[in-house]
Each structure stands twice: as structure tokens, then as C-alpha cells.
A = this chain, B = another copy of it.
Amino acid sequence: MDEDLPPPIDSPSDALGRLGEFVTLSSRERAALAGLLEPVQHWPRHHVLRHEAAVPSHLYLLTKGWVASSIVLTSGKQQIVKVHLPGDLLGAPSLCLTTTVDCLTAMTPIAVRAISRSRLMTTIETYPRIALSLFLSAQKERVALMENLAVVGQAPANVRIAATLTNLFDRLFERGDAPGGMFHMPLTQRDLGDLIGITPVHVNRTLREMDRLNLIKRSDQTISLLDVDRLRRIAGLPVRHYVSGPDWIASD
């Protein structure tokens, strides 16, 4: 790693995932959030947590596994707009809609805790600091989407793949799930294609080429980034530094 990353989420609120990632919450606030979380549900791979065009009565906090958020066009093609990892809040974009925009599909066996939409709303109205944290989390997701859009819109296949792999790596590394650049990679080549807007066939050819160049190595459902810095340079995106610390809000 060539840059200092934000400090890891404080372990006491680890069960809350990224719900309070931008604010150090009081114990009352943490309790309010914890009270929203319904019992853990387990689902197998390929399970559809929530279809699109459904009524968004619940959100989900992902506690284990990977989930894809995808949009299907009338042409039949689907775009994966986000790969969610443990700690992520699922289904938030549809909060402003009467009908869900995305489809949430388990890419691995997963564990989630449901959150009632209406109860979350009233919690936000009651606890301003929770609202602030969720507001900033939403902006962070916006930044991620903007970067993905820029890469998909402007870059060739190898750059798109480099950007995706380094992004996954960074997010997993933060949680200690990518030691030595190696991590479990449950996305199929078709999934990768749906994520970066490329045909599975071409994903395959590009991956093999990157393999040949000793940028990555693959085996089973595991991938190793052999040269993270070079991959980052290929991706061509700057490292982002997120606000953190107790006093940043007041800072002018």
C-alpha cells in the first residue's frame, strides 16, 4: 500500500457495518441503530433478496458474503451497478422511490439483517448524527458510481478490469480479507462483464492477457494481484481520502 488508508471501523460498532462509518456514535445512537436490525437471515448463492420493480419495504445490512445490485434493460442486458461486500447497506437508493430500481442477488452464500424502511426513516428524523453519517455514506456511494461510470464510459477493457480489481482489493484489504493481494473472487466472467459493460468472451481474453503479463494469477475462485501498483496505474484513478476523525465536521 502506497497511501495511508482511513482507520478501520471501530470494532465496538462492527455489528453495525458502515451504518455509522462517518460519525463516532454515542451508545444511545448505536443502540437505536442496533434496534433496527432484525434477526440474521442466511441465503444461498443466487438467491434474489429483492427484485426490481418491487415495493421497497425493507433495506438490508450485509453481514457476510457478496451481493450484486443490478439493473435490467428492456434489451435483456443487465448492468451490475455495485458489488456489495460485508458491512454494506443494501437497497438504500430505492428509499426515494415507490418501486425498487435495482435487483439484489447473492453472489455467494450470504447473511443479512433486514431493516424496516419506515423505522429507518423515523430513526433518521430522531437522531441527526445518524442522519449525517448515512447522508455521507450515500455521497460515498455516489463517488463510487461516478468513478465506475467514468471507467465504463471512457476506458478500454483492460483498464476497466484493472479498476474493478483494485477497487475490490482495497475494500477487502481494509477488512483484512485480501492478504498479499490475494482474495476470494466469486464473480464469474459473465458477472465481471455485466459489471464493466463487456462481453464474457472478451472478459476472458482480457483476463488471460493480464495473466500472461504477470499482473494477476487465477485459480479456483481465487485471484492474486501480483502488482497492485501497476494495476492502479493502469486503472488511472487517484486514491481517495475520506473524511474521518472526531473534528472534521467543524473544520472550515
Contact = CB atoms under 8 A, between A and B. Distances in A.
Contacts of A222: none
| Most chain B CB inside 10 Å of its own CB: which residue of A77, A102, A131 | A131
Contacts of A151: 73
Interface in A109-158: 116, 118, 121-122, 124-129, 131-132, 134-143, 145-155
Contacts of A69: 146
Contacts of A96: 22, 136-137, 139-140, 143, 242-243
Nearest to A135: B135
B81 A146 contact: yes
Contact of A129 (B57, B125, B150): B125
5 contacts: A22-B96, A77-B155, A98-B242, A118-B249, A125-B129
Interface residues of A, number: 71
A207 interface: no
Interface stretch (A40-48, A164-172, A179-187, A233-241): A233-241
B95 A136 contact: yes
Report copies per complex.
Answer: 2
B150 A73 contact: yes
A78 interface: yes
A252 B139 CA distance: 26
A191 B139 CA distance: 25
